[in-house]
Amino acid sequence: MTPVSSKQYTDDVSLLMVLIDTNPLFWSSTTTPFSFSKFLSQVLSFLNSIILLNQLNQVVVIATGFNSCDYIYDSSLGHANQRAETLLHL
């Protein structure tokens, strides 16, 4: 059996950048079909599935608010940045 070259692994690497609208005016409206915590839980499940497809995949999550924008999670930093999981407990 011939070994698979490392080029095949690196060709499938992806970077997914997700922007999440954290505007409280939007999430507090009555037209929203589900709460922000349920939405965030579904987004985290999606991001985990992207990372599971290939361990070299990278994910960046940026939260945008009314007057702010900040990095929530960057998978290239490893386990040093755990802010995304703490949002579920708010």
Hey, what domains does the chain have and what are their CATH numbers? 14-87 (3.40.50.410)
pTM of the model: 0.69
pLDDT for 21-66, tens place per residue? 988 887 877 676 778 888 889 998 999 899 888 888 899 999 998 8
Report the alpha-carbon distance of residue 14 to residue 18 in Å, rounded: 13
Q: How far is CA 67 from the centre of its chain?
A: 21
